[in-house]
Structure 1
Amino acid sequence: MEKRKAKAVFMAFGTKGDVYPIAAIAAAFACDQKQYNVILITHSAHESLSSHLGQKHVEFCAVSSPPVLSADQNNDVEGEAESSFLLQKKKITRDHRRECYSLIERIFGDGPSLDGDLIVINFFALEGWSLAECFSIRCVVAAPYVVPYSAPATFERQFQRELPLLYKYLIDAPSGKVCWKDVIHWMWPLFTENWGSWRNDDLHLSPCPFTDPVTGIPTWYDRPHSPLVMYGFSKEVVECPAYWPSRVRVCGFWFLPIEWQFTCTHCREISVYDSSGHQFAKDNLCPRHLELQKFVEATPIFIGLSAIGSMGFLKNPHSFICVLQAVLNTTNYRFILFTGGYEPLELAVHTIAAEATFDQMSEDCVPLYKGRLLCFIGSIPYGWLFPKCAAVVHHGGSGTTAAALQAGTPQVICPFVLDQFYWAERMHWLGVSPEPLSRNHLLPDKNDDRSIQEAAHVLSLAIHDALLSTVKTRAAEISERIFLEDGVSEAIKYLNVELGLN
């Protein structure tokens, strides 16, 4: 019987910013280690990755759960809305975990695990940790940002009181073995009831990791190694404190392959490949998007907040566009707005354009307000666009932040959730952006003229501060320091070391 290939599963959940960098690593690993079967497990909403991954010989496996769950904050009966949301979340979580188990069982359940088998998870795919334990597979963590949650202040005291033997097991761990630093840095949710009941009831594992499922006593006889944690950001940007676990590795930013970043296939063919099929980066777009190329020659300000639409925050896209209009009325700026596939925002753009009877450049380039606001319904590489922009206004996603840093372009950040607040504060601390905006500075609570004018005033001041020479100089300095880093290649090196590969 022919020995099966080793398998590497990359399991990543969340928004594009959470998933796409992990997909880029999966693709690079498949190219580097052709003796592996490589699989990506993620939401069906990221189906557009399938063709790109297929070209790199990575299998795409989808689960039906949505990338983001958001309660309807506008429901008139608040208590009923909250109850309904919690019930929905519980069901989605149960179905999600069942699908994850089925996929991992299909992949690894055909025989004993191999030494080279691997599951790589991001912080929103903690199912993968317990599933790796269930099927005796090595597990590695990969994340494009610092862990986006922290343990409650009472966690250690409660842990020590309720699990004194396990606490001692982790505190006294020998060098290189899993220890309390690992738990407090990122693993602590695995010790909560939310995960414990699933581990016990469905996977038939001990409710608490590192304990015997029968006795509940720590597995003194079998101490696992401290798990490898790879971060996809630059040491030039994020400090790596000594209290982090010893097995944390900082790789540099994980940028996507350039060919993944075009919605227009003609632009991709022109910009990415020459006639012989070799990859390179050209500065031209296809004839259908020459007006877009011409627009950016005037060094516009980029606006990209579409990702927060899917999270339930961009409830009134029309008022958001009115804020941009108010800024244009009092400044000489030009804006390029990416709608990012968020349909309510695209509908608002087309509605305003129809009312203005302004000729559209193309079906995906919509000019507004005498051509000073260009709305682009598609995507092109930030690495192509951002160096041509005066500033980047965004929500603080790790990918957008990294692209702006690499381009040396000043930023204005309005964070909404999780790691976005970290990146917003960090960019201000580095001196590449003014103080973070609060959400009502871009998305006023009321759709009246006064609220819109106040929001526009704050945004105008923030952009003015971002364009100061000191900020531009600092952004250029950071760009120069990180430009030659290759985070994806570094991640592959760490994975190869972990697996004992050449």
Structure 2
Amino acid sequence: MRRTITLLVSGTLGDVRPLVALGVGLRNAGYVVRVATHAHYAPLAQAHGLLWRCVEGNPSDLLRSDDAALTLDRGALRGAAATLRYICRAQAVYARMIDSATEACRESDALIVSLASCWGQLIATALELPCIWAPLQPITSTARFSSPLLPIHHRLARLSYSIVELTTWLPWRTVLRRWQLRAPGPRHAPLDPFAQARQSRAPFIYGFSPNVVPTPDDWSPHHTVAGYWFLDDPNERLSSEIADFLTNGDPPVAIGFGSMSGRRPHDDAVLAITALTLAQRRGILIGAPEAVRLVTGRRDILVVPYVPHHLLFPHVAVAVHHGGAGATAASLRAGVPTVTIPVGIDQFFWGRRVAALGAGPPPLPRRRATPDRLASALVAATDDAIRVRAAALGRLIRAEQGVTRAVETISACLGW
């Protein structure tokens, strides 16, 4: 009898795509794979032959209405106030999400969760299912570096992970407690999913490259850095508009801000267009509708609503993005120089890793980004030393088999 594994996925597209790629690998290994996620991502899962179960409500959607929540982009005080507003507004959404996710996970043989769905550990405990964590950024405590979500002094590294864990679940404790009283399983289990994971020694299988973040030597053996999980569709192609633009001039600069693009669209468009002009570079602006009017009549800048990073980045001179885990993985894999403009969350961590590896200049925080500074970063990114290091790192990442290693590790952990 084939076993059913449910991947519980929440968050942004950058959170979802790698888990769908992992699901495809598990399906190819013979498992029945269900993706429990929000309706917006159902076509993505189903297009790759995976079953879909609905998870209602996505707190990440609320972030689009407040550009300061969960960031330091507009200052610490404004960011804190915006984050508190977000938490208050998201309580009802969070309750709907965990209730529907519980139903979606029934009749499973195992659950796989990520950071954005870490509350799935509580569901696994309630339903008495094995739970495997599949985060896309380091969240296990280490003395080697502070939490990617709280980049403080390295001497306080372990403290940073404890703080992040608390802030991940404590704001939702009332919702979680009410859910626990309705759910099956023990009524007094810890509401802290990280504590439950440690108590059960849940395996952690990380979806990033050991060539980008080597495995810390103080992690226990049930933590594995498998490599990136890329979702490549052989049927996807660049549009004729993009293909023509690429062939009619020097390699352009690709600029896109992913899940951060809706926060200040006009300012981002002006920043990108002016920087490209100052640096005298051609450019492709991704997901920047505000830029369409601003580049009317210009043949050196193309604006597109969306393009898969894995198709475009190998053809550009520099990739500029917010430093999200997925965008960083794509630009490093392509072997092109990367400029990060982080806003918050784990983006500063990935931007610093890019610079430390020599694959791009130091990150340019969005709150400090000006056209002059971005233009200077574009010039710095095309330095020969950076281009050589980025290309070498890309070859290493392309040689990895992240999904294969993750599937092998999951199978070994489950022992089926």
TM-score of the superposition, structure 1-length normalised?
0.69
Post-superposition Cα deviations, 1:90-111, rounded to whole Å, max 9, x if no partner, equal 1111111111122224x35xxx
CA displacement at 1:9 relative to structure 2: 0.5
Change (3 A) 1:82 1:414: closer
Q: Please name the residue that 1:349 is paired with.
A: 291
Report if aligned partners of 2:54, 2:101 keep a CA contact under 8 Å in 1.
no
Post-superposition Cα deviations, 1:143-193, rounded to whole Å, max 9, x if no partner, equal 22222546999xx9xxxxxxxxxxxxxxxxxxxxxxx99x95986668847
**What secondary structure sits across from 1:63 in the alignment?**
coil
Q: Please name the residue that 1:236 is paired with.
A: 211
Mapped pair 1:376 → 2:304: yes
Post-superposition Cα deviations, 1:375-421, rounded to whole Å, max 9, x if no partner, equal 122323x3332222111111001121112112211111011121111
CA displacement at 1:286 relative to structure 2: 6.0
Q: Please name the residue that 2:20 is paired with.
A: 23
- Superposed, 1:175-324 pairs within 5 Å as 192=170, 194-195=172-173, 197-198=177-178, 200-203=180-183, 204-208=186-190, 225-259=200-234, 262=236, 267=237, 285=238, 287=240, 290-295=243-248, 298-310=250-262, 313=263, 315=264, 317-324=265-272
AA aligned to 2:371 is A
- Superposed, 1:103-122 pairs within 5 Å as 103-105=104-106, 107-108=107-108, 117-122=109-114
Post-superposition Cα deviations, 1:258-277, rounded to whole Å, max 9, x if no partner, equal 348x4xxxx3xxxxxxxxxx
Q: Please name the residue that 2:75 is paired with.
A: none
**What secondary structure sits across from 2:386 in the alignment?**
helix
Out of 62, 67, 72, which is 2:66 matched to? 72
Distance in 2, matches of 1:438 and 1:288, equals 31
Post-superposition Cα deviations, 1:456-477, rounded to whole Å, max 9, x if no partner, equal 1111111111111111121122
Post-superposition Cα deviations, 1:336-384, rounded to whole Å, max 9, x if no partner, equal 1111xxxxx32x234335xx4x4xxxxxxxxxxx21111122323x333
Distance in 2, matches of 1:67 and 1:193, equals 15
Q: Please name the residue that 2:34 is paired with.
A: 39
Aligned residues: 387
Q: Please name the residue that 2:56 is paired with.
A: 63
Q: Please name the residue that 1:440 is paired with.
A: 367
Q: Please name the residue that 2:125 is paired with.
A: 133
AA aligned to 1:406 is R
Unaligned runs of 5+ in 2: 70-77, 140-147
AA aligned to 1:232 is G
AA aligned to 2:33 is V
Q: Give the aligned CA root-mean-square deviation in angstroms.
A: 3.5
Q: Please name the residue that 1:282 is paired with.
A: none
CA displacement at 1:481 relative to structure 2: 2.4
AA aligned to 2:227 is G
Change (3 A) 1:151 1:73: closer
Post-superposition Cα deviations, 1:202-229, rounded to whole Å, max 9, x if no partner, equal 335324279xxxxxxx99xxx9651110
Whose RCO is larger (CA < 8 A, sep 6+)? 2
Change (3 A) 1:100 1:7: same
Distance in 1, matches of 2:46 and 2:363, equals 37
Post-superposition Cα deviations, 1:256-301, rounded to whole Å, max 9, x if no partner, equal 12348x4xxxx3xxxxxxxxxxxxxxxxx56565424424x52111
Change (3 A) 1:191 1:440: closer
Report if aligned partners of 1:199, 1:205 keep a CA contact under 8 Å in 2.
no
Larger radius of gyration: 1
Distance in 2, matches of 1:146 and 1:52, equals 29
Distance in 1, matches of 2:94 and 2:151, equals 21
Report if aligned partners of 2:55, 2:97 keep a CA contact under 8 Å in 1.
no
Unaligned runs of 5+ in 1: 109-116, 157-179, 211-217, 268-284, 340-344, 359-369, 443-454
> Percent identity among equivalent residues?
24
Change (3 A) 1:242 1:130: same
Report if aligned partners of 1:408, 1:479 keep a CA contact under 8 Å in 2.
yes
- Superposed, 1:407-426 pairs within 5 Å as 407-426=334-353
Report if aligned partners of 2:203, 2:223 keep a CA contact under 8 Å in 1.
yes
Change (3 A) 1:434 1:300: same
AA aligned to 1:329 is T
Q: Please name the residue that 1:111 is paired with.
A: none
Q: Please name the residue that 2:97 is paired with.
A: 96
